[in-house]
Structure 1
């Protein structure tokens, strides 16, 4: 790393720390009063404040609208043990976080508060966790994503991100029941859209009423599977939106007598739900993924960033492929990105370069991380990718040769596979100095503890048992 990069890293670290300082109490109170007036006009009675734990499960505390100012001024009590919850609600521990002692304060981000179109009387806001004395909780995943975004901003860089949301919709039934589908149309077929046109229309309406710009919605490959994509935004906002989109889909489904699964695998022999992350790197309004001398127009900064991501992908799976079931999805020839390679529009590569159509590339060029799934905590996913990318940029890394075609058809050993199970991914994670430094020791070790506990919990389980145990948890 050059001396200049070291200076920039120090500046970025200072900027990241400043970015997560809790605003003064008087400012929080004023924001709460304004938010309460706005939400009251929309006939809101209560606000659901959510955070996503290290198992990828969205947890919630709710407050009546009359208590919003107190929640904004003083926070809502939450136990730190949630950082070591597993997806099935079992609890493990880590050296720095865990056990029954201690308390935190959950503060709603009222700038993001929105009435929920499919739940009359309710609104939603993402939350951030601080200690009782107002210092940032080192295990807060949303604050981690904010820190990495601020570190990029300190270098004059901004990012746009989007997270694809895939889900399987099924007829309602007991939690132990395998899915029964409300449509049996072919993959990507108009048949499915026709069968569920009222339902999908209501999903679109609800997302639109909540201020989200939907780019497309369509049937996917697996039975009962659909996908929705929304407009890109800043990384933290994209993670927030991912939580809100999934919650909205679940709420609309419930009103239609349906249930949904965002789990990585819903049927053992099927194609699972991805949580692909799209990112583009910008400086002074210019997309650095276009117009440069590198491969397919990449600038040196964008190439260095993507090279850093590619190098860290085995370790990043611990953040982006949270459930042991995710490795049942991460298989060759399923467009899941099972190989650690990159390529232009290559849907079998873990890192897919997307240039966009001729004429729109200056705005559309981006990269897609395909090996992540919908069990991931989206704040950990985007924050981890940014940290890896900034490390690659600082080191001036370059991408290896591009791979075209199907990596599974290449000569054995030509293209490296990503980890095929949580044990391999954990080994890469524990060897990653980049992620350890970016996450900070408490969050880094809590994530490892959850992954290890879930891997041990399902070590003896066959694919059917593992899928059944996780199908309706996400």
Structure 2
């Protein structure tokens, strides 16, 4: 299975690396970048020359554990399990996802799992967490297909949006057609199936979506997509921001998570006896996600800036409810035009999230719904902002932190080390921006994501 390479014995990983080196050398690759995502949602990397790939695959590459508690501004906090500057971890690349980078000639990329020096899995490894929950669902005879939309603002050298054309407008598409064509070509060259690429709502904003895949693979892919867009943009003299909000008062960059539940070849979001064709397992799964959603925001909308995006009437899903094609509901049900396309979209998440934490936690909540047979609440068929009884999701990071601290489910699912590290980072970032204006927050994080 893709995403499982680092569970192989060292000798097997070394043999896989030797075979990869031969092909990569023939393709003109000089170095390989290993990436992981910290609890603040920032992608961190180490790289090795191609000649060192075998050693890296076998023994890993050193990475300091203090990044478990790093903040968006590169400062550090502390958690019960953190050791400050002491200790070391090993980044072990997953060579099943080894990809030559089309927009960075001479380089390849692979996601990495983190291990301790003695070769045991690091309890704070977010990618391992996502894999574990995925496997728990598979033990029930089920599987999940997932995809994360990527929205970004492209800016010129001054930092201003590079196009002011109408939302979804042909104007901005024409102005940047060469740039977008190169994005499309690069993603396709890397083996990704692009479903849509189009202008979005905010000034300078675009969106791309790719084909659904397994949860860990989807998290890997969203990181690869973002790296690729950033690299293509740099080649065109453009800057990229995935921050939750780029311009104060405007629609922000979402990171909408799409999920579908399957039993073998059957999509449980289609053809069932429940509302809009949902099967009982799908209803229970989505009920579990809705029940845990306030706490899940601490993972899927993890920045102080996330709550400047997560407001009503901006298509952000600011209310804890679900509805068929309801773009103001946090959980939008999509039936699609074919059985395989039915899925649910979590609209309240953004690109500041660590995708492995986000995916793993959502799956854990869905699994809890399955195990308890949780009923799906009544549908919200209209704009929840107009309903007196509509429940707002947390409107600030401290509110989301409060819900996270009360979640026994997430504490158990993440394990104490990872749970406490996330909590420490969230508390520290809330304190970091306490008393700052919205404009200050947006400026501080605009180019961090």
Query: What does residue 415 of structure 1 align with?
Result: 390
- Does the 8 Å CA contact 2:17/2:57 hold for their aligned counterparts? yes
| TM-superposition CA deviations, 1:395-452 (whole Å, max 9, x none) | 00111110011111112xx011000011111111111111111100000000000000
C-alpha distance in structure 1 between counterparts of 2:273 and 2:262, whole Å: 16
Match of 1:214 among 166, 187, 194: 194
1:313-324 correspondence to structure 2 within 5 Å: 313-324=293-304
Which residue does 1:4 correspond to in 2? none
Report SS of the residue matched to 2:8: coil
Conserved in 2, the CA contact under 8 Å of 1:20 and 1:143?
no
Matched residue, 1:471 = 446
Q: Does 1:406 align with 2:383?
A: yes
1:27-426 equivalences in 2 (<5 Å): 27-173=12-158, 179-357=159-337, 360=338, 362-411=339-388, 414-426=389-401
Residues 321 and 375 in structure 1, CA contact (< 8 A), matched pair in contact too: yes
Residues 133 and 363, structure 2, Cα contact 8 Å, conserved in 1: yes
Q: CA RMSD in A?
A: 1.0
- How many Å apart are 1:96 and its aligned residue? 1.1
TM-score (norm 2): 0.98
Residues 83 and 98, structure 1, Cα contact 8 Å, conserved in 2: no
1:432 aligns with one of 407, 413, 416: 407
Tell me, in whole angstroms, the C-alpha distance in 2 between the residues paired with 1:424 and 1:191.
Answer: 40
* Paired residues of 2:198 and 2:207 also in contact (CA < 8 A): yes
Alpha-carbon displacement from aligned partner over 1:40-95 (angstroms, at most 9, x marks no partner): 12100000000000000000000000000000111000111011000110111101
Post-superposition Cα deviations, 1:190-228, rounded to whole Å, max 9, x if no partner, equal 001000000000000100110110001000000000000
Q: Matched residues in 2 for 1:82 and 1:98: separation?
A: 10
Report what 1:6 is aligned to: none
SS in 1 for 2:391: coil
Partners of 2:88 and 2:179 in 1: CA distance: 41
Gaps of 5+ in 2: none
Q: State the shift of 1:34 in Å.
A: 1.3
For residues 100 and 251 of structure 1, the distance between their equivalents in structure 2, rounded to whole angstroms, comes to 32
How many pairs were matched up?
Answer: 446
SS at match of 2:7: coil
Q: 1:192 to 1:21 in 2, by over 3 A?
A: closer
1:373-411 Cα shifts (integer Å, max 9, x gaps): 010000011101100000001000111110011111112
Deviation at 1:98, TM superposition (A): 3.9
Aligned counterparts of 1:239 and 1:318: Cα–Cα separation in 2: 17
The 8 Å contact of residues 6 and 94 in structure 2, kept in 1 or not, is answered as no
* Displacement after TM superposition at 1:291 (Å): 1.3
Deviation at 1:20, TM superposition (A): 9.2
Query: Is the contact between residue 330 and residue 347 of structure 2 (CA under 8 Å) also seen in structure 1?
Result: yes
Going from structure 1 to structure 2, the CA distance change for 1:389 and 1:20 (only over 3 Å counts) comes to farther
CA contact (8 A) 1:309 1:385 kept: yes
Say if 1:118 and 1:20 are closer, same or farther in 2 by CA, change over 3 A.
closer
The answer to which of 89-98 and 248-257 deviates more is: 89-98
Residue of structure 1 in register with 2:427 after alignment: 452
